[in-house]
Amino acid sequence: MQLASLLALSLATLAVRACPGEEHGDNHAHIHERRAYPKAPLTPPSSPLVWGDVNIIHTTDSHGWLLGHQKTSFPEPNYRRVRYGDLGDFSSFVTHMKQLALEKDVDLLMVDSGDLHDGTGLSDGFPPGSVDAHEVRATTKASLEVMLTLCSQTNRYMFDLPYDIMAIGNHELYIYANTYDMYKHFAPSLNGRYLSSNVNITVADAHGNNVSVPVGDRFAKFTTRKGRKVTSLGVLFDFTGNDVNTTVQKVEDMVKEQWFAEAINDEPDFFLLVGHMPVAKTDHWPTVFDAIRAVHPTTPILIFGGHTHIRDCVQYDGRSMALESGRYMETVGWMSAKLDQKGSTDDIAFTRRYLDPNRVTYEYHTGRGNDSFDTLKGQLFTLGLNKLAETYNLSYQFGVAPQDYTITQVPYPSNNSLLTLFTEAMSYALTINNTCGAIPNIMITNSGSQRFDVYSGPFTKNDQLTASPFADPFLYVQNVPLSIAKQVLPALNNAGANNRRALSGFDEEAYARGEVNMVYHAWLQEMDQRNDGPTRRAAQNLTLGYVTHDSCPGVGDDTLHSPLSFYNVPDFIGTDAPAGVADDAPIDLVFVDFIEAQLLQLLNSLQSTKTFTTADVQVYSSVLGTAVLGLYAQKYWN
């Protein structure tokens, strides 16, 4: 008993240890007490999972949501547990599922399709004085090494889970320092199982020469516990928004490479393709699929995609299945396959399921009760993540939100709209201690800068970073006539609408840069319209959540829900034109740096008096996008 206690203590100490430079004098364990289940009881899964010969647990687009969803407004409780629905619960769930696989004598694998960065305080909330890889571009080897000593703690928890394959996402490529961290520390920890088939990074070799090398590995071959041979690839969509010294090869060019031909030449028992690319046939998974099918016409192919934040499933033929499992740890994907003999042309029996990652779901599928579910490792994950949140001061409270503010569940503009709230917050936060604040202005940002809803109750540092994770500066152009300035926002939105109309509802250039809201919002809209919106919700005794309609047979959602309301939102939002100012009066046109090139182009198209260039652009405020809501809350929510 004493030895077990010492072991647990040692493991706990290891789990919560900070990176160099992050130690605190206060070393007491900070353990959150268990919380009661939500007042509205969670609906249990509709039926047990169907197990096959090969079974896969899938995650994607976690974006730092490792402490789970902590709010009480639905649909948040679908993704939480007695405490939070955190990675500790998921770890315990995986442990029990692995045991069930042993008892059933089948294979159970785990895969992840990328995007570990950008989304919550755990991935973006480095404390003051530390180097935040999301804000600071390290350009020298010395500064990179400093950044890497402040290691990505959340990444460590991910590779401590028993993943068989992980793939790179586009959010690992926006900042070179992040990519270098994945190359230097994360990929080696996966021992050849972190895949970046078409993604390279430029680094210095042993002789100081710059070389372009894969961030991880191009492919992996391994044998399962049951002796099945597997060939895996990890493919990223045709992403164009990557940082300097990183390269993304087009998928259609990747499949023509000699290494690709050699990798797929030998026939495995099945191909396991994992990548940050949607499974819809409009993207490039079919390109990879067809290249493999040209060599192996009947080999089973299991595909796991990501990026567009939706639940989706497609079968390219009867011997394959492609699954996409949502975002933000709101979904854990499941696939099973009953394999047959090599050379068979019969359809394979596949199943898929989209699990709500909460305690009710996990206990149901593992056959465990509340008193026997937690594992030691799972408890240590929770302890370590809470310690990390404490180190980052994520519970710091700016104020108390008086109500829920959502992005698409209410009209914009409206009092309950987060986008409306953010425009009001910009007007206040960007003019604090700003000598330009007294000059009339119009402020513009992209609606995609707001990534998650704000719920009533305490508004913390974590909530601030979750709603607005991008640390973008605000710029401005002086002396723009009001008559011209007030045309810019409508012109920006009209340009975006024209792009979507020209491409049948899809802005290809924005998508290539990594924007996914157009796809995610279209999915939510279709879900709401298909289920008759508020009329059907009122008639159903179901909690709010995702109601998935994909092209694979059977019901995909593990738990039945009523869909969320959906309202279209513009691509760009901004403050109203200043009142009492003449149309020819000069004002400041303020905008987030993310849209600088597009805004200048439109500004020049709206008038010919002056050609505006980057030389006319200045920094408007020291306040970054991540800080706007917090400053507003401190002023108005106390």
Residue 159: per-residue pLDDT: 82
Burial class (CB in 10 A: 0-12, 13-18, 19+), 44: middle
- What pLDDT is recorded for position 65? 87
Q: Can you give the residue ranges of every domain in the chain?
A: 69-391, 397-513+568-636
Amino acid 487: pLDDT: 97
pLDDT tens digits, one per residue of 452-511: 999 999 999 999 999 998 889 999 999 999 999 999 999 999 976 555 544 445 688 889
Q: Give 232's strand partners.
A: 220, 272
pLDDT tens-place string over residues 283-314: 999 999 999 999 999 999 999 999 999 999 99
Helix 359-366 vs helix 87-104: crossing angle, to nearest 10? 10
Q: Give how far Cα 550 sits from Cα of 275, 311, 312, 347, 519, Å.
A: 19, 8, 6, 19, 14
* Token pair for 407: 């992005």
Predicted local confidence at residue 12, as pLDDT: 40
Q: Locate tokens 């980057």: which residue?
A: 614
Where does the pLDDT of residue 534 fall: very low under 50, low under 70, confident under 90, or very high at 90 and above?
Answer: low
**pLDDT band at residue 30 using 50, 70 and 90 as cut-offs:** very low
User: Would you state the structure tokens that stand for residue 487, as one six-digit string?
Assistant: 């045309």
Compute the distance between CA of residue 139 and CA of residue 432 in angstroms, rounded to an integer.
31
Question: Residue range 376-402: average pLDDT?
Answer: 92
Rounded percentage of the chain residues whose pLDDT exceeds 90? 73
Tokens of 638: 């106390």
The whole-angstrom separation of Cα 398 and Cα 134 is 22
Is residue 182 over pLDDT 50? Answer: yes
Token pair belonging to 194: 């972190």
Across 452-489, b (16+ Cβ under 10 Å) vs e yields bbbbebbbbbbbbbbbbbbbbebbbbeebbbebbbbbb
- Coil, strand or helix: which one is 481? strand
User: In what order do the strands lie in the sheet containing 246-248?
Assistant: 210-214, 199-204, 246-248
Decide if pLDDT at 198 tops 70. yes
Give the sign of the dihedral formed by CA 353, CA 357, CA 360, CA 364.
Answer: positive
The DSSP secondary-structure symbol of 172 reads G
pLDDT digits (tens, 9 = 90+) for 227-255: 999 999 999 999 999 999 999 999 999 99
- Residue in the structure block whose two tokens are 């199943």: 351
- Round to whole Å and give the CA distance between 46 and 408: 28
- Cα–Cα distance measured from residue 216 to residue 197, given in angstroms and rounded to the nearest whole number: 8
415 class by beta-carbon count within 10 Å (0-12 exposed, 13-18 middle, 19+ buried)? exposed
For residues 216 and 194, give the distance between their C-alpha atoms in angstroms, rounded to a whole number.
5
Quote the DSSP letter at residue 110.
E
The pLDDT tens digits of the residues spanning 414-448 come to: 999 999 999 999 999 999 999 999 999 999 999 99
Q: What's the average model confidence in pLDDT over 135-144?
A: 40
Query: Which fold is adopted by the domain 69-391?
Result: Purple Acid Phosphatase; chain A, domain 2 (3.60.21)
Tokens of 430: 């960007």
pLDDT band, very low/low/confident/very high, at 592 (cuts 50, 70, 90): very high
Helix (H) or strand (E) holding 303: strand 301-305
* Cβ atoms of 187 and 157 closer than 8 Å: no
What distance in Å separates the CA atoms of residue 350 and residue 371, rounded to the nearest whole number? Answer: 33
Q: Which of 513, 420, 543, 585 is nearest to 76 (CA)?
A: 543
Cα–Cα distance between 435 and 431 in angstroms, integer?
8
The two structure tokens encoding residue 340: 């047959």
Domain 397-513+568-636 has CATH 3.60.20.10: no
| Pairing state between β 165-167 and 107-112 | parallel
Are the C-beta atoms of 343 and 298 separated by less than 8 Å? yes
Alpha-carbon distance 88 to 377, whole Å?
A: 7
What is the mean predicted confidence (pLDDT) over 562-590? 95
Residue 226 sits at φ, ψ, to 5 deg, of -90, 10
pLDDT grade for 146, boundaries at 50, 70 and 90: very low
